[in-house]
């Protein structure tokens, strides 16, 4: 059996693509680099992080607020050209719900790249995708974001033909699809062909608790399209609703207590011989007692990727293989040889010449501040701006994939001014993080350790628990996450540990609780800050990321 989610942690908006015996999934990366992670499998059960598509030489994400940046990439393969296509959007602005996004197209002969220079497509909406028709023509789809009064929001799906020779669209996009349900908040359009029909697959209900996958079909690519008679084909909330007038995406009132997987929607499917599998967004929230409904269900791990087994009916509609439309945790696997996927390591001693591909940094590439050559077996991080910055932050993270984790590191750092610090971090966005740091305390006239928290832009420091430390010695730090509770500890010898700061609520780090960002997920990592000269460095001997069973 396949156990969902197949890509745990911050891995939203999956798009699946098959090339011969290989399967690839691209997911969103928002403000994090490298951008557009690509996962690989040969059996749909075991997945490995293979590569990424973008870095900061291609895309400039600096100064963008949290949850902006790279949205919902579309990965496809044109068999006639033997070429991979990626369509991605850079969300630049969401102020006053104007949603300014620029959509680009890049290609490569190999999934490993190199990728072509980006070609600008249009700014006519987000979640753009491409369809390669049998006759060689290509079409771009996206959600045409609505800003006018007295029009249904968030908008309507549009389509436009793409001219490959001249590398531009032919005319303006045409609006053609409002969805197969009345859940509203349509997005994530993808066009496919099966038999004599073109199929439009979309997400409806908003990327929250009323989320679903829906479809329509037509014999003419321009429509009109017939709505699937059952409405949602995959969802966490099977009860149909009319929410076209409510364009809030979260809708926590549709939380389904009978389902482990929540927020299921935003799908993409692939045929596996005579079988069909669909990947989709899902989430697994903490259920809290918050009086605020929008914060009652908190998804610390963010939106994850799950998979469902599907079948095509005799009358040409796609259905879940078990006859329901409720997303399942356990799914029958295809009859494919087992794939020995490369696991992301639990321990990194920084002995390699390059950082692992599972490390991420906000808005800038980690090679801007990371050095593995100066001190063999150690990672040197040059201090950057404060963790609240939207510009150049020296923060190296990996995705939190479970809520029962111990992450440990060993640091050599000698701060000389209070503006300099280094340590271990749990981070949702620049306004929500907790940071156990070594810094210079003028009060103690000595380097010290103290926990600092940023909660929706409000800073808290546990001054009474700061402790003088000897920075002639290396210092171990660890973050312990145990379900809804987390705390930090430090040690000189990795044996005797001292807790610093109180137990904190893990669920605070979630798309529901955080007010300055959404759509992403929690990260854990290491950082160095030097707000004085940007020259001071911290050295890290290793990172261990251990999931407790």
Per-residue pLDDT tens for 57-108? 999 999 999 999 999 999 999 999 999 999 999 999 988 888 899 999 999 9
- Range 246-251, long-range pairs (CB < 8 A, 24+ positions): 246/184, 247/153, 247/154, 247/184, 247/185, 247/206, 248/206, 248/208, 249/185, 249/206, 249/207, 249/208, 250/206, 250/208, 250/209, 250/294, 250/512, 251/205, 251/206, 251/208, 251/209, 251/210
Nearest to 528 by CA among 347, 409, 393, 366: 393
Rounded CA separation 241/261 (Å): 19
| Rounded distance between C-alpha atoms, residue 264 and residue 243, angstroms | 17
Residue 243 in 3-state DSSP?
A: coil
Average pLDDT score over residue span 102-127: 98
φ, ψ of residue 279 in degrees (nearest 5)? -100, 150
Return left, alpha or beta for 155; rule: phi > 0 is left, psi -120 to 50 is alpha, else beta.
Answer: left
Judging by DSSP bridges, how do beta strands 262-272 and 275-283 pair with one another?
antiparallel
A 10 A CB-CB count for 4 gives 24
Tokens of 245: 């007038």
In the chain the first and final C-alpha atoms are separated, in Å, by: 19
Cα 35 to Cα 73, 86, 343, 352, 479, distances in angstroms: 10, 12, 20, 22, 26
* Contact between 299 and 209 (Cβ < 8 Å): no
pLDDT > 70: percent of the chain: 100
User: What pLDDT does 549 receive?
Assistant: 77
- SS3 string, 73-138, reads EEEEEECCCCEEEEEEEEEEECHHHCCEEEEEEEEECCCCCCCCCCEEEECCCEEEEEEECCCCCE
pLDDT tens, position by position, 202-254: 999 999 999 999 999 999 999 999 999 999 999 999 999 999 999 999 999 99
By annotation, the residues acting in catalysis are 13, 187
Please give the structure tokens belonging to residue 177. 């699809």
CB of 139 closer than 8 Å to CB of 186: no
**DSSP β-ladder status, 2-3 and 330-331:** antiparallel
pLDDT score recorded for residue 517? 83
Segment 284-288 long-range contacts (CB within 8 Å, at least 24 positions apart)? 284/5, 284/260, 285/255, 285/510, 285/512, 286/403, 286/484, 286/506, 286/507, 286/510, 288/507
> For the domain bounded by 347-547, which CATH number is listed?
2.60.120.200
pTM, two decimals, is 0.98
**In 257-290, which positions are buried (b, 16+ CB within 10 angstroms) versus exposed (e)?**
eebebbbbbbbbbbebeebbbbbbbbbbbbebee
* Cβ within 8 Å of residue 2, ≥6 positions away: 44, 45, 307, 330, 331, 332, 333
- How many whole angstroms separate alpha carbon 135 and alpha carbon 267? 25
Please determine, looking at this structure, whether the domain spanning 2-331 carries the CATH number 2.115.10.20: yes
What is the mean pLDDT of the segment spanning 449-456? 98
Instruction: Please write the tens of the pLDDT for every residue from 508-543.
Output: 999 999 998 889 999 999 999 999 999 999 999 999
Query: In the predicted model, is pLDDT for residue 173 greater than 80?
Result: yes
Do the beta carbons of residue 486 and residue 504 sit within 8 Å? yes
Domain boundaries, the chain: 2-331, 347-547
Distance between CA atoms of residues 335 and 549, nearest Å: 29
The DSSP secondary-structure symbol of 64 reads: P
Provide the pLDDT confidence category of residue 186 given band limits of 50, 70 and 90: very high
pLDDT 10s digits, 312-365: 999 999 999 999 999 999 999 999 999 999 999 999 999 999 999 999 999 999
What integer best gives the mean pLDDT of the chain? Answer: 97
Range 47-73 burial, b when 16+ CB lie within 10 A, else e: bbbbbbbbebeebebeebbbbbbbbbb
Q: At residue 6, does pLDDT exceed 90?
A: yes
Contact 81, 110 (CB under 8 A): no
The answer to whether 54 and 365 have CB atoms below 8 angstroms apart is: no
The helix (run of H) or strand (run of E) holding residue 401 is none
> Coil, helix or strand for 455?
strand
């Amino acid at each position: 059996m396949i156990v969902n989610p197949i890509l745990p942690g911050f891995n939203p908006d999956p798009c699946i693509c098959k090339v011969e015996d290989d399967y690839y999934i691209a997911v969103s990366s928002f403000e994090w680099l490298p951008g557009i992670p690509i996962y690989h499998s040969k059996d749909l059960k075991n997945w490995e992080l293979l590569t990424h598509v973008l870095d900061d030489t291609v895309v400039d994400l600096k100064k963008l607020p949290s949850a902006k940046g790279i949205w919902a990439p579309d990965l496809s393969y044109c068999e006639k050209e033997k070429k991979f296509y990626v369509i991605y959007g850079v969300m630049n602005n969401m102020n006053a719900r104007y949603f300014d996004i620029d959509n680009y197209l890049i290609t490569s002969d190999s999934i490993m790249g190199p990728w072509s220079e980006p070609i600008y497509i249009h700014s006519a909406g987000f979640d753009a995708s491409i369809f390669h028709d049998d006759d060689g023509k290509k079409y771009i789809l996206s959600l045409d974001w609505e800003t006018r009064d007295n029009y249904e929001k968030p908008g309507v799906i549009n389509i436009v033909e793409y001219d490959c020779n001249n590398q531009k669209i032919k005319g303006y996009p045409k609006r053609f699809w409002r969805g197969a349900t009345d859940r509203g908040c349509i997005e994530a359009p993808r066009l496919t062909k099966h038999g004599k029909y073109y199929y439009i697959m979309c997400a409806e209900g908003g990327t929250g608790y009323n989320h679903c996958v829906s479809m329509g079909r037509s014999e003419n690519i321009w429509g009109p399209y017939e709505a699937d008679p059952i409405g949602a084909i995959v969802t966490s909330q099977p009860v149909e609703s009319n929410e076209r007038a409510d364009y809030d995406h979260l809708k926590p009132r549709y939380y389904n207590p009978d389902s482990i997987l929540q927020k299921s929607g935003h799908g993409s499917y692939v045929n596996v011989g005579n079988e069909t599998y669909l990947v989709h967004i899902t989430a697994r929230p903490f259920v809290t007692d918050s009086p605020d409904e929008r914060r009652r269900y908190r998804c610390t791990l963010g939106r994850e990727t799950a998979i469902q087994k599907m079948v095509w009916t005799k009358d040409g509609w796609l259905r879940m293989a078990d006859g329901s439309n409720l997303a399942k945790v356990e799914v029958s696997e295809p009859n494919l040889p087992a794939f020995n996927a490369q696991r992301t390591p639990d321990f990194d001693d920084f002995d390699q010449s390059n950082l692992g591909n599972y490390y991420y940094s906000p808005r800038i590439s980690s090679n801007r501040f990371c050095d593995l050559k100066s001190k063999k077996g150690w990672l040197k991080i040059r201090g950057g701006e404060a963790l609240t910055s939207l510009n150049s932050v020296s923060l190296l993270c990996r995705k939190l994939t479970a809520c029962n984790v111990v992450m440990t590191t060993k640091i050599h750092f000698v701060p000389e001014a209070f503006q300099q610090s280094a340590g271990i971090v749990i981070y949702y966005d620049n306004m929500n993080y907790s940071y156990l740091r070594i810094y210079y305390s003028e009060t103690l006239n000595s380097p010290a350790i103290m926990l600092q928290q940023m909660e929706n832009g409000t800073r808290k420091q546990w001054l009474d628990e700061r402790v003088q430390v000897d920075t002639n010695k290396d210092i171990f730090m660890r973050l312990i996450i145990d379900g809804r509770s987390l705390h930090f500890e430090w040690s000189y010898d990795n044996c005797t540990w001292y807790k610093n700061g109180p137990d904190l609520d893990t669920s605070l780090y979630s798309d529901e609780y955080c007010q300055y960002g959404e759509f992403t997920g929690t990260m854990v990592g290491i950082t160095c800050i030097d707000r004085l000269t940007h020259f001071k460095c911290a050295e890290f001997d290793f990172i261990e990321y251990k999931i407790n069973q």
